[in-house]
Chains A and B, each alone.
Chain A
Amino acid sequence: MDVLIFMVSGTLAAATALIFAAMGELVAEKSGMLNLGIEGMMATGAAMGFVAASVSGSYTLGFVAAAGLGMCLSLIFAVLTLVFRANQTASGLAIGILGLGLSSAIGKKFESMTLPGLPDLPLGVLADLPVIGPMIFQLDAMVYLSILLVVATWYVLNRTKLGLTIRAVGESPETAHALGLKVRWIRAGCVAFGGAMAGIGGAYMSTAYTPLWAEGMIAGRGWIVVALTVFGTWMVPRVALGAYLFGSISLLELSIQAFGVNVPSQLMSALPYLVTIFMLALISRNTLFIRLNSPSSLGATLKLQ
């Protein structure tokens, strides 16, 4: 039973950082912007969030600072790609490198320090339910917020005019431009949102999930976020599902090991990527499906005058 509680509550927590960053990246990608600097933005967010929360004693301030700095980094990406018409892939990698360096510089004096960790927020009566309570209703506030974020992202992208605009811009920036939409501003806004969410995702790692700062602690999670958007075929519920799936696979590996069974850990680590490639091949064949869901202009340099 404890193992079940660990797996469920652990998965929810493990997926939280991924969900924040993935929702942000999804919105950016929906507008046609492939920002590969997520790893650097998450790392910077983690360092900034930890330092700000440590110094001020406020977790809220930590998340705000992390979101702000993540946004600043992503805006460099936006300016490079939208104003200077630089290639998205190279620009994303460039701010990724900058972000990793920045995280190391910001966190230097705080290396290996710890925080008490974001306190849990038991949800009233629900938290007292047997088994289900500790499993789902005794987690920290950010876990619940991440679920709200998924719902909100889905709603905005699919049910609002703003969402329609974002999708139109990602589908064909030229057409959107011809229709009088401010393509650059909309894309910059989506990228900034992505940066802020990546920052928060990083800060969740360093202030709540593993409440300490250690250089390199994001350890590839930013790359997983990029894979998640593809795995989820740019559909909000599927991306979220992917994050939970990924979280549970990584915990399952450890649980199985603790049962005394050896698992081929490298195969487990590679599995999410193999499955994603398989999914991508499967859906890409279906041109109609791809046209409906994937942003057509993803990664392409804006050619507007």
Chain B
Amino acid sequence: MPRLVLEPRETTSILAPVQVAGLALALTLVAGGVLFAIYGVAPHKGLHAVFVEPLLSTYGIGEVLLKMAPLLLVAQGLAIGFRAQVWNIGAEGQLILGAIAASALAIQFDGTVSPLLLPAMILAGMLAGMAWAGIAAFLRTQFNANEILVTFMLTSVALQLLYYLVTGPLKDPMGFNFPQSISFGQSASFPLIIEGTRANASLFIGLAVTALAWVFVRYSFASYRLSVGGLAPDAAGYAGFASKRAIWIALFVSGGAAGLAGVGEVAGPLGQLQRNVSPGYGYAGIIVAVLGGLHPVGILFAAAIMALVYVGGDFALLSVGVPDAVTGILQGILLICYLACSLLLTMRVRWVRDAPA
């Protein structure tokens, strides 16, 4: 009887990630087409609206780049930790802290024309993200507390802290008690990079972090140490034997990157601190990191695809008139297809004719 067996790949082809992405995308297109048909929209029109339409206008491309920046930052940072088996799933909270710290500076120095304000905000945001993730590193290294759970719960705490600050100390005193800060001035905002869009210079930070991550993964001895530290927990189980140093580095890097993403939001499209600082970039970043195969280049593409689906979903709301639920379902399907197909990165499927001995 012929049957399917899974075998570990001996070598991973450089093309494998591309093939996997292509397969997942193809499956998503099929499923997405069915989904649109259910809502009475011609599948090709619906898919065109999501996957093509955003790329047909400068504005659309700008929106994709805008959405891509935070995803890229968060995912690159997380991937470095994930490679070391340090599971920071609280990037959302670290992003919020970054946004808060940057906003506090912008509010404190409102009206200044100093070119130093934005760099100071960037630094403050990064440090705040690092500090928030550092709590988890401290609890993991000193108390052996599982960082998945600590980072996750710190996100809920960060959210409440944000709610407190925007209704209290950081509230716009002239803002009629609405839960939000003042609008930031020019010197507290990233410059736009494409005329007529909202895409701003925070994307360059994302690209710079991508380059750094690539160098880090490719050459750094620290990276080697991180992956060795990360291999141990398989044997050691829950308690985890990832070296303390690896844990600190992983959480500082991912927290700092998420903090930068938070700065990009308040000093970018938002232009103020408010309750909805992030539409879940911290969680989406985890998925982007995994989709990108934890590889800096893969993450670059994964971030672009995720951003496209987000923006395309919004486009489809108007151009083909599907309810917003479709976007969420489509994202879910894409992720599930991608996760399933990722198996092919490390394994290959083969038909075997004879029964095993």
Contact = CB atoms under 8 A, between A and B. Distances in A.
Direct contact of A and B (CB under 8 A): yes
B89 A297 contact: no
A226 B149 CA distance: 9
A144 interface: no
A269 B330 CA distance: 32
Given A89-B89, A277-B145, A284-B145, A98 B329 contact: yes
Interface in A53-100: 76, 79-80, 84-87, 89-91, 93-95, 97-100
Interface of A is mostly: helix
B157 A84 contact: no
B332 interface: yes
Given A84-B343, A93-B286, A97-B331, A36 B323 contact: no
B161 A270 contact: yes
Contact of A266 (B153, B163, B346): B163
Interface residues of A, number: 55
Interface stretch (A132-140, A146-154, A180-188, A287-295): A287-295
Interface string A281-305: 1101101001100111111100100
B143 interface: yes
A36 B282 CA distance: 14
Majority secondary structure of chain B interface residues (helix, strand, loop or mixed):
helix
Contacts, number: 162
A15 interface: no
Interface residues of B, number: 49
A86 B339 CA distance: 6
B158 to A, nearest CB: 9
Contacts of A85: 343, 346-347
B159 to A, nearest CB: 8
A223 interface: yes
Interface string B77-96: 00000000001010000000
A266 B156 contact: no
Contacts of A116: none
Nearest to A80: B339
A250 interface: no
Contacts of B330: 101
A84 B160 CA distance: 37
Given A270-B157, A277-B154, A284 B143 contact: yes
A210 interface: no
Contact of B153 (A89, A98, A227): A227
B317 interface: no
A305 to B, nearest CB: 8
B16 interface: no
Contacts of A76: 336
Interface of A: 34, 36, 76, 79-80, 84-87, 89-91, 93-95, 97-102, 104-105, 108, 172, 220, 223, 226-227, 230, 264, 266-267, 269-270, 273-274, 276-277, 280-282, 284-285, 287, 290-291, 294-300, 303
